[in-house]
């Protein structure tokens, strides 16, 4: 705190006013000491000091001003700190919102993916029908009175169709049967067990017939030592031949060629 100021001016009064202006106190609270009265070529010079009885007032004011300034600085510092913390919190909130938005979009994407998957599964499911219902409707259209029996074991589900005049459905060489068997597998929903069809015991008779033929040809191959190539067969008939001879130690079987001309060849054991 400044308590004394030296002032100069053309006159003593001007010098005092200059000092009071710098000291920032009224005239009644100061003591004035004249150092020089000045003259034509010399300025007046004075020393203006706060008087001893007024000094405590200004000291108290100074303390008040300093405390106010300190409080203002602390308030500014607190406000600045709070502003920084708020900015930091806002940044964290935005970060969390961004993260939540990202997770929400990801969840929505997963939901849409699952919905799309479910829609595809539903569309796919709509393409299939119950095999027994399919057969009933088919034979109803063909005006055939049939009885359908379902047999099921660990590997297969067999649909046995019995009735009168089913030969025209089966076909001369089973063409109708094989076509219907393929169609049934297409409309039936895929499961763990294979679908088999038997119309008028055709499959049973076909298995018996092809098994007998396979064993007869196997005897011939074992006797002559020469392989035999069968006529082209559908996959179902070829499977019957392979199954019939799989335990025969004298011969082995092999399918060769491309559909629909794929053939079964019976070889002597070791001549594959």
What's the pLDDT tens digit per position in 154-196?
888 888 899 888 888 888 778 888 888 888 888 877 777 888 8
Lowest mean pLDDT across 55-64, 102-111, 177-186, 219-228: 55-64
Sorting pLDDT into bands at 50, 70 and 90, what band is 267?
A: very high
pTM for this prediction: 0.47
Domain chopping of the chain, boundaries: 4-53, 131-199, 204-268
What's the pLDDT tens digit per position in 37-49?
887 788 999 999 9
Reduced 3-state DSSP string for the chain: CCCEEEEEECCHHHHHHHHHHHHCCCHHHEEEEEEECCCCCCCEEEEEEECCCCHHHHHHHHHHHHHHHHHHHHHHHHHHHHHHHHHHHHHHHHHHHHHHHHHHHHHHHHHHHHHHHHHHHHHHHHCCCCHHHHHHHHHHHCCCCEEEEEEECCCEEEEEEEECCCHHHHCCCCHHHHHHHHHHHHHCCCCCCEEEEEECCHHHHHHHHHHHHHHHHHHHHHHHCCCEECCCCCHHHHHHHHHHHCCCCCEEEEEECCCCCCEEEEEECCCC
Report the C-alpha gap between 59 and 134 in whole angstroms: 110
- Homologous superfamily of domain range 204-268: R3H-like domain (3.30.1370.50)
Q: Output the pLDDT for position 127.
A: 61
| pLDDT mean across residues, the chain | 85
pLDDT at 243 over 90: yes
pLDDT at 242 over 90: yes
- For domain 4-53, which architecture applies? 2-Layer Sandwich (3.30)
Q: Which residue in the block uniquely carries the two structure tokens 């294979």?
A: 194
pLDDT at 152 over 60: yes
pLDDT at 97 over 60: yes
Sorting pLDDT into bands at 50, 70 and 90, what band is 33?
A: very high
Lowest mean pLDDT across 58-62, 97-101, 223-227: 58-62
CATH topology of domain 131-199: GMP Synthetase; Chain A, domain 3 (3.30.300)
Lowest mean pLDDT across 26-35, 61-70, 133-142: 61-70
């Amino acid at each position: 705190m400044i308590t004394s100021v030296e002032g100069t001016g053309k006159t003593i009064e001007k010098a005092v006013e200059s000092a009071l202006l710098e000291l920032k106190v009224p005239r009644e609270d100061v003591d004035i000491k004249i150092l020089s009265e000045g003259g034509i070529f010399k300025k007046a010079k004075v020393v203006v000091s706060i008087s001893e009885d007024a000094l405590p007032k200004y000291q108290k004011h100074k303390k008040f001003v300093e405390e106010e300034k300190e409080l203002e600085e602390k308030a500014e510092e607190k406000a600045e700190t709070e502003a920084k913390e708020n900015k930091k919190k806002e940044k964290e909130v935005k970060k969390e919102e961004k993260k939540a938005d990202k997770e929400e979009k990801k969840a929505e994407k997963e939901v849409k993916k699952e919905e799309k998957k479910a829609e595809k599964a539903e569309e796919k499911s709509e393409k299939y029908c119950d095999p027994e219902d399919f057969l009933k409707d088919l034979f109803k259209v063909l005006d055939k009175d049939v009885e359908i029996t379902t047999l099921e074991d660990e590997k297969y589900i067999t649909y046995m169709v019995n009735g009168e005049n089913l030969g025209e459905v089966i076909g001369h060489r089973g063409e109708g049967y094989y076509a219907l068997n393929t169609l049934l597998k297409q409309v039936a929903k895929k499961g763990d067990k294979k679908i088999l069809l038997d119309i008028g015991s055709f499959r049973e008779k076909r298995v018996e017939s092809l098994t007998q033929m396979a064993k007869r040809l196997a005897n011939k191959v074992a006797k002559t030592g020469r392989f035999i190539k069968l006529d082209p067969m559908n996959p179902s008939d070829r499977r019957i031949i392979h199954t019939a001879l799989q335990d025969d130690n004298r011969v082995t079987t092999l399918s060769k060629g491309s559909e629909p001309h794929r053939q079964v060849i019976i070889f002597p054991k070791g001549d594959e």
